[in-house]
Each structure stands twice: as structure tokens, then as C-alpha cells.
């Protein structure tokens, strides 16, 4: 069934090519489509396009379909083009002409825009929870190992003393910054496009503020032409936020692979968290971190892929936008899986507390000696030269202690302030507004 079809049947090859992966991709949007339809039907009743009884019947049936979705029983039938058509078909089968009224005052264009935004804001909520949980894990590990030193590197050369407290805490704060970007994406996403129809409004007296309130949006996309132009832009903006998180996970995964290698030995993964070789019986491979790195590197390309699809489109709707769903919708699940697996792996990491017993790391304490001389009154450049000569002549003796006390250093990690910063950002999302609105709509 096609909502637009009249008497002429579409060529089967054209149908196959144009439908593409929509039946598969639109399953991601089924819950969102039903939520939007309930809000739309409620609005239609308020302007006299549905009776109170018709609204009751439509809402009850939509709730039945919603139960099938969350129960894994909902499918998009082979002859049906997309999720919108499937939901309308099910309503019409059960309610006859009453079901046919549901599309009054909207287009598939604003319907899919709405579905994408409802889906995306829900997925952002899940990802933010996963990021926050990983931040908690990193901060716990940072505090647990705050006094355990490890080498810091520049240019992959041994540089200065670092610590596991710094290493774990640095990723926690980096993920907090990622939440800022995610908050911006959420605010772009959480605006209601419903009522913009095909991008030029409607002669029906639709109440756009009503559906905005019913669905818990912050506001609407006011200009109907912009609402349509926002498709692709919302996905690209959110893609940048996903890419920021993915970049941190990829870097952390690389660190973990490097640090667990035999040549470094800074951390150890339990045997049950590694995989083996078919011919080398000693191997314990960090495959989870390697796959995380690869998956997250792919996710970092998401905004560029969306840009390449949408970059040269003028205003208005074009079928090109359909392809964005294929790369955008699955990305949330992939990133969420990587976040959860990273947290699981880190919780099981064993830290080497005796790294600096190896004399090859002694020279990284040279800066500590330079600074100590400077604090005693020796001009810094003279202190630098003195220690440099000691190193060249083989007379340098390392004092393997550090006394870093300033904010954010080894001895003053500021983890409590990182956590506070995270909590302040989380409060700005106001997810509870959306959750309460959606729970009121659905009679589950």
C-alpha cells in the first residue's frame, strides 16, 4: 500500500529501488510514529476533524499497535512502503473510514521529520545515561589509582611523570565536554516540525502549539519551510555530537591496547576479557578495545557522510534524504554498545603499580629536579642546563617522587569538580519533561 498511489501501478524495479531499506530502517521509528500519531489525532479532535469517540477508538488502537512494537511483534508488510503506511493500514483495517482520517493535516514529510526527532531525542537520552555511567566509572578508577604513577609521553617518547589518576580522569572530563555538544544537538532536535506538512503549511487550522506541548518539545520549528529544511541538518548536528564521544572512546581504546601490550605492561585484562590465537597458545588479545576503536572511527565519519548526501540540495524535500536514515539510525545502538563495553572492560582492568621500578623511566624525573633547583633559587635556564649536563655525563640520579599540588595535577585531580560539571550539564537536558509527556500519551 502506498499513501500516494492512484490507479497506475509502479514498475516493480522502480518500487524496489525507491523503497530501498525503508522497511528495515523504519522499524527504528515505529514507536515514535505512534506517539506522533496520538498527539496529531488529539489535535484533530480539538479542531473538529475527529469526534471524541473517533479519537478514543484511534488512540486505543494506536496503543494496541504500540504494545506490539515493544513486544517485537510489529512488522512492515512486504507490500507496504514504510512505517507510516503500515500504521495507517492497521488503523483502517480495524476502524474502517475512521482510520483513514488520521492523515488529515499532515504530510509524510512532517511525519517522518517528527518521527526522526522523537526517535533521536530518546536515543540521546539513552546515550547520555551511558556516557554519564562511564564518567562515573572513570572517576572511581581515577580516585582508586590516584597515587599510582606511570610515564607520560610526548611524540611517543618518555616525557614526564603522569598517573593513573590523571589518565582515567582525563577521559572523564573529555566526555563531560562531549555532553556539552550533545546538549546542543538535543536542543536542535527537541523542536516540533509537525504541522509544517510538506514544508509549506496547511489550509487546515492545525494547532501546532498543542502538539508541541503534547509531545513535550521545547518549542516548535516555527517557519514551516525551515522545518522541512531542518531534515538532514538535525542528523548532521547530532552526528557531530556522536562523533565527539566516538573520538574519545577510540583514543581510550587505543591507549588500552597499547598499555596492555607486552612492551608496555601498564595494565592487564583478565583472561576472560580477551581472545586467543589459533596457533599461538600464549596470546591474550584485546579484541573488544580493537573493535571499539574501529566502530568508533566509523561513527566519526557520520557527519561527513550526512553532509555528502545533503550538501548540494536546495530548499524543499528530496528523496536523497531517505538515505540518511541508513547511516544515522543504527549509529546510536553501535555507540551505546561501545560505551557499555568500554565501561565493562575498564571495571575489570588490573593496574601495574610497579611500572617505575624499571630504570628506563628514570629520566622522566629530570623536570622534577630542574623545578626543585629553580624553587631553591637557581635561575630556571641555569637549572635546566645543569640537569641536562648531568644526563649527558651519566651523573643524573632520579628522585622518583612528585609533588604536584595545583588544580588538575597528579596531587589535586579535581575529580569532584568534574563530577559537578557533569551534573550541571545533565540537569539542563530536562529529560523528565519529555518522559512525562510521552507517558501521558501512551496508555500502556
**In this structure, are 66 and 172 located in the same domain?**
no
The answer to whether residues 437 and 374 belong to one domain is no
Examine the pLDDT at 5 and tell me if it is beyond 60: no
Residue 274 has pLDDT above 90, yes or no: no
Are 234 and 117 in contact by the 8 Å Cβ rule? The answer is yes
Both 421 and 375 in a single domain?
no
Please tell me the predicted confidence (pLDDT) of residue 7.
Answer: 56
Same domain, 185 and 311: yes
Q: Answer yes or no: are the C-beta atoms of 147 and 110 closer than 8 Å.
A: no
Mean pLDDT across 168-179: 98
The pLDDT-based confidence of 68 (bands split at 50, 70, 90) is: very high
What per-residue confidence (pLDDT) applies to 316?
85
Domain presence at residue 267: yes
Mean pLDDT to the nearest integer, 231-259 = 97
Q: What is the mean pLDDT of residues 370-384?
A: 94
pLDDT of 335 > 70? The answer is: yes
Residue 409 lies in a domain: yes
In a domain, 169, yes or no: yes
- Residue 268 domain flag: yes
Task: Calculate the CA 198 to chain-centre distance.
Answer: 29
Cβ atoms of 87 and 62 within 8 Å: the answer is yes
Instruction: Tell me what percent of the residues of the chain surpass a pLDDT of 70.
Output: 97
Is residue 83 a part of any domain in this protein?
yes
Handedness of CA 273, 274, 275, 279 (dihedral sign): negative
Chain centroid to CA 21 = 23
Cell 566509572 maps to which residue?
137
- Over the stretch 203-220, which tens digit does the pLDDT of each residue have? 999 999 999 999 999 999
- State how far the Cα of 227 lies from the Cα of 191, in Å rounded to an integer: 9
Residues 408 and 421 in one domain: no
Looking at per-residue confidence, does 357 or 240 come out higher?
A: 240
Residue 277 has pLDDT above 80, yes or no: no
CATH number of residue 427's parent domain: 1.20.200.10
Residues 97 and 242 in one domain: no
CA distance 280 to 260: 18
Looking at the domain assignment, is residue 214 inside a domain? Answer: no
Q: Name the residue range of residue 427's domain.
A: 119-148+162-196+222-353+415-441
Mean pLDDT of 77-101: 92
Strands 157-163 and 350-351: unpaired
pLDDT at 66 over 80: yes
Q: Considering only CA atoms, which of 428, 231, 276, 252 is closest in space to residue 349?
A: 252
Q: Are residues 286 and 307 in the same domain?
A: yes
In this predicted structure, what is the pLDDT of residue 279? Answer: 83
Q: Name the residue among 212, 280, 295 with its Cα closest to residue 247.
A: 295
What are the angstrom distances between the C-alpha of 296 and each of 249, 314, 408? 7, 31, 28
| pLDDT band, residue 120 (cuts 50/70/90) | very high
Question: How far, rounded to the nearest angstrom, does the alpha carbon of residue 109 sit from its chain's CA centroid?
Answer: 25
Q: Which of 72, 77, 65 is nearest to 23 (CA)?
A: 77
Cα 211–chain centre separation: 26
The pLDDT-based confidence of 12 (bands split at 50, 70, 90) is: confident
Phi and psi of 79, rounded to 5°?
-85, 0
Torsion of CA 40, 46, 52, 54, to 10 degrees: -40
CATH assignment of the domain containing 31: 1.10.275.10
User: What is the average pLDDT value for the chain, to the nearest integer?
Assistant: 93
In this model, does residue 11 exceed pLDDT 70?
Answer: no
User: Would you say residue 123 has pLDDT above 80?
Assistant: yes
* Average pLDDT, integer, range 336-340: 97
pLDDT-derived band at 398, boundaries 50, 70, 90: confident
The DSSP bridge pattern shows strands 191-192 and 219-220 to be parallel
Nearest by Cα to 310 from 297, 299, 325, 295: 325
The pLDDT of residue 320 = 86
Shared domain for 335 and 365, answered yes or no, is no
Residue 209: all three cell numbers together? 502549539
Answer whether residue 409 shows pLDDT above 80.
Answer: yes
Do 133 and 17 lie in one domain? The reply is no
Residue 5 lies in a domain: no
Q: Look at the chain and report how many structural domains it folds into.
A: 3
Lowest model confidence (mean pLDDT) among 68-77, 144-153, 316-325: 316-325
Check whether 238 has a pLDDT greater than 70.
Answer: yes
| Position 6 confidence tier, pLDDT thresholds 50, 70, 90 | low
Q: Is 424 left (phi over 0), alpha (psi -120 to 50) or beta?
A: alpha
* Mean predicted confidence (pLDDT) in 353-370: 92
4 pLDDT above the threshold of 50: no
Residues 304 and 237 in one domain: yes
Residue 123, domain member (yes or no) = yes
Residue 377, Ramachandran bin (φ over 0: left; ψ between -120 and 50: alpha; else beta): left
Task: Looking at the structure, tell me whether residues 234 and 365 fall in a common domain.
Answer: no
Q: 408 and 322, same structural domain? A: no
> What is the 3 state secondary structure string of 375-426?
HCCCCHHHHHHHHHHHHHCCCCCCCCCCCCCCCCECCECCHHHHHHHHHHHH
Q: How far apart are CA 21 and CA 322, in angstroms?
A: 9
Amino acid at each position: 500500500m502506498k499513501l500516494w498511489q492512484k490507479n497506475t501501478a509502479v514498475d516493480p524495479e522502480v518500487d524496489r529501488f525507491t523503497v530501498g531499506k525503508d522497511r528495515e530502517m523504519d522499524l527504528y521509528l515505529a514507536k515514535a510514529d505512534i506517539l506522533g500519531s496520538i498527539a496529531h489525532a488529539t489535535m484533530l479532535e480539538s479542531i473538529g476533524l475527529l469526534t471524541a469517540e473517533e479519537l478514543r477508538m484511534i488512540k486505543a488502537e494506536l496503543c494496541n499497535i504500540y504494545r506490539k512494537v515493544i513486544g517485537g511483534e510489529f512488522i512492515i508488510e512486504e507490500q507496504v512502503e514504510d512505517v507510516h503506511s503500515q500504521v495507517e493500514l492497521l488503523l483502517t483495517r480495524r476502524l474502517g473510514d475512521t482510520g483513514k482520517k488520521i492523515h488529515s493535516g499532515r504530510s509524510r514529510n512532517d511525519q517522518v521529520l517528527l518521527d526522526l526527532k522523537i526517535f533521536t531525542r530518546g536515543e540521546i537520552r539513552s546515550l547520555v545515561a551511558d556516557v554519564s555511567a562511564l564518567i562515573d566509572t572513570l572517576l572511581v578508577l581515577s580516585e582508586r589509582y590516584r597515587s599510582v604513577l606511570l610515564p607520560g609521553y610526548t611524540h611517543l617518547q618518555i616525557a614526564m611523570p603522569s598517573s593513573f589518576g590523571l589518565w582515567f580522569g582525563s577521559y572523564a572530563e573529555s566526555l563531560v565536554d562531549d555532553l556539552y555538544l550533545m546538549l546542543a544537538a538535543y536542543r536542535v532536535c527537541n523542536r516540533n516540525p509537525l504541522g509544517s506538512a510538506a514544508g509549506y503549511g496547511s489550509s487546515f487550522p492545525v494547532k501546532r502549539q498543542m502538539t508541541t506541548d503534547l509531545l513535550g518539545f521545547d518549542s516548535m520549528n516555527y517557519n514551516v519551510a525551515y522545518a522541512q529544511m531542518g531534515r538532514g541538518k538535525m542528523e548532521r548536528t547530532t552526528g557531530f555530537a556522536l562523533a565527539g564521544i566516538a573520538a574519545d572512546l577510540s583514543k581510550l581504546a587505543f591507549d588500552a591496547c597499547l598499555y596492555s601490550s607486552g612492551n608496555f605492561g601498564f595494565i592487564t585484562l583478565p583472561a576472560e576479557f580477551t581472545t586467543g590465537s589459533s596457533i599461538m597458545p600464549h596470546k591474550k588479545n584485546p579484541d573488544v578495545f580493537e573493535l571499539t576503536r574501529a566502530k568508533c572511527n566509523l561513527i566519526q565519519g557520520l557527519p561527513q557522510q550526512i553532509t555528502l548526501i545533503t550538501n548540494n540540495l536546495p530548499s524543499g524535500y528530496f528523496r536523497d534524504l531517505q538515505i540518511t536514515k541508513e547511516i544515522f539510525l543504527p549509529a546510536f545502538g553501535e555507540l551505546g554498545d561501545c560505551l557499555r563495553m568500554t565501561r565493562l572492560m575498564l571495571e575489570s582492568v588490573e593496574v601495574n603499580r610497579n611500572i617505575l621500578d624499571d630504570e628506563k623511566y628514570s629520566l622522566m624525573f629530570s623536570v622534577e629536579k630542574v623545578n626543585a633547583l629553580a624553587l631553591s633559587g637557581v635561575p630556571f635556564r641555569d637549572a635546566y642546563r645543569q640537569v641536562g649536563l648531568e644526563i649527558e655525563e651519566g651523573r643524573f640520579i632520579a628522585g622518583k617522587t612528585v609533588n604536584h599540588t595545583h588544580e588538575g595535577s597528579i596531587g589535586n585531580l579535581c575529580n569532584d569538580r568534574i563530577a559537578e560539571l557533569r551534573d550541571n550539564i545533565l540537569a539542563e537536558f530536562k529529560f523528565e519533561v519529555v518522559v512525562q509527556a510521552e507517558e501521558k500519551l501512551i496508555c500502556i
